[in-house]
Amino acid sequence: MCLGIPQAVLEINGNKATVQYKDRTKVVETLGQTIAVGDYVYAQADIVIAKMSKEEAELRIKALEMIQ
């Protein structure tokens, strides 16, 4: 099982995006997903698989922090 962690989109460069969760950043493939700087996404195997609202991302981040 994989745990999807909401990540904020910091930068977009072509089909790649720099995303961040807490103090960790990484570059992921967007593969045609329509995303913008400031959006929140799930990425699996360095590929964006879903976009979510800021409200949903904040709720999920709070839940993750409660169990850590």
CATH topology assigned to domain 7-58: SH3 type barrels. (2.30.30)
Domain ranges within the chain, ordered by starting residue: 7-58
The DSSP 8-state label assigned to residue 25 in this structure reads: E
pTM above 0.85, yes or no: yes
Give me the mean pLDDT over the 52-68 stretch. Answer: 90
Residue 57 half-sphere exposure toward CB, CA atoms < 13 A:
19
3-state secondary structure of 55: helix
pLDDT value at residue 5: 87
pLDDT value at residue 1: 45
pLDDT value at residue 3: 64
Residues for the chain: how many in total? 68
| pLDDT tens-digit map of 17-56 | 999 998 999 999 999 889 999 999 998 889 999 999 999 9
3-state secondary structure of 47: strand
